[in-house]
Amino acid sequence: MGIDPCRLRVLLAVARTGGVLAAADELGITPSAVSQQLNKLEDETGHALVVRTPKGSVLTPAGLAVAEAGEEIERALSVARARIEGGAKVAGVVRVGGFTSFVRTVVIPRLPEWRIRYAQLQIRMVEDDFPALLRMLRQRALDAVVVELDSMTAGQRSLSAGMIEEPLLDEPWKLVVPAGALLTTENIDLGHLPLPWLGVDSSAANASVLGRIRQSTGAQKETVHQYQETLTALALVAAGEGVAIVPTLALSGVSHDGVDVLDVPGLGTRRIVLRRFDRRRSASMPVDTVARLLRESAAAFDTRSTS
């Protein structure tokens, strides 16, 4: 039996809101209708897609695979709509929040091009940390925010009612150590490194990775220092003060003098997503356009980084 694409939006709503009731409110249908659509989708795929827990609904590995297909369809439709509406004037001010490495590496280099393509569209960037960005989004001080998550713990965060999340980029975490600190880079034991971990702000996705490492290795090493910016972490590592977990994007265009950047199995990936409130009931072409531009820019960076 084939999959009915119309049911994918129900699965996406559950994934984004974290529960059947919230998804029903998001879609404007009854919770019973949401459950029925999920059951039919599970029948069509032959797999359980959602697991109900006391804290909400969580997608199974099969559910994540189907949801990713739904997101691809959403993106394709968004591109098609943009092409159809290409002759329309896109005008207005769109306020976008983001974190340092994404703003610096993915957004700022494209701003001149976007300004030429959309002369009447003004994109205003605000750089801040995770809690502040979400607070400004909920207060409608921002139209959209780009935030970072540890992909292995991303499902533990729930979205506010009416908020949607669009994936932009997944990139590997890297282990950064002082140059020559490790005699071999094979079979690295993260629980027994020769130097302590550098502390990072608890709201950063790096902190989730450190928590995972502690849990999986049983190591209870204390962290030393506390940093927010990757440049600070690199300077501390180069000085021999410790080791750090850093995302690939943050290492782009900065000096790696005095450090070794290593790929280590098990570190996982950093997931970068765009969050905004659902505009379907009051369509906003400027915000939709900026969301599409951010997706395109992230996709282009991903292509360059993996080529």
Considering only residues 281 and 232, tell me which one the structure prediction assigns the higher pLDDT: 232
Give 244's strand partners.
Answer: 176
Buried b (16+ CB within 10 A) or exposed e, 104-132: bbbbeebeeebeeebeebebeeeebebeb
CA dihedral 18, 24, 28, 33 (to 10 degrees): 140
- Give yes or no for residue 72 having a pLDDT over 70: yes
Average pLDDT rounded to a whole number, residues 39-68: 85
Please return the burial class of 86, using the count of CB atoms within 10 Å of its CB with bins 0-12, 13-18 and 19+.
exposed
- Give yes or no for residue 250 having a pLDDT over 70: yes
Task: Check residue 281 and give its pLDDT.
Answer: 43
Residues 279, 203: contact at Cβ < 8 Å?
Answer: no
Average pLDDT rounded to a whole number, residues 86-96: 80
Average pLDDT rounded to a whole number, residues 159-167: 84
Task: Check residue 241 and give its pLDDT.
Answer: 96
Q: In angstroms, how far is CA 186 from the centroid of its own chain?
A: 29
CA distance linking residue 290 with residue 95, whole number of Å: 10
- Give yes or no for residue 15 having a pLDDT over 70: yes
Task: Check residue 282 and give its pLDDT.
Answer: 45
Average pLDDT, the chain: 86
CA distance linking residue 66 with residue 8, whole number of Å: 8
- Give yes or no for residue 163 having a pLDDT over 60: yes
Task: Check residue 213 and give its pLDDT.
Answer: 87
Task: Check residue 305 and give its pLDDT.
Answer: 56
Using the 8-state DSSP alphabet, how is residue 192 labeled? G
pLDDT, tens digit, for every residue of 97-124? 999 999 999 999 999 999 998 889 999 9
pLDDT, tens digit, for every residue of 278-303? 765 445 689 989 999 999 999 887 64
143-147, 155-159, 209-213, 278-282: which range is least confident on average?
278-282
188: nearest Cα among 85, 262, 89: 262
pTM of the complete model = 0.71
pLDDT over 70 percentage in the chain? 90
Q: Specify the residue for token string 């921002």.
A: 142
Considering only residues 286 and 155, tell me which one the structure prediction assigns the higher pLDDT: 286
**Kind and range of the H or E element at 113?**
helix 111-117
* Cβ neighbours of residue 240 closer than 8 Å, sequence gap 6 or more: 178, 181, 195
- Give yes or no for residue 87 having a pLDDT over 60: no
CA distance linking residue 204 with residue 270, whole number of Å: 11
How far CA 210 is from CA of 99, 152, 204, 244, in Å, comes to: 19, 12, 11, 9
pLDDT, tens digit, for every residue of 181-228? 987 778 888 888 889 999 998 889 999 998 888 888 877 778 899 999
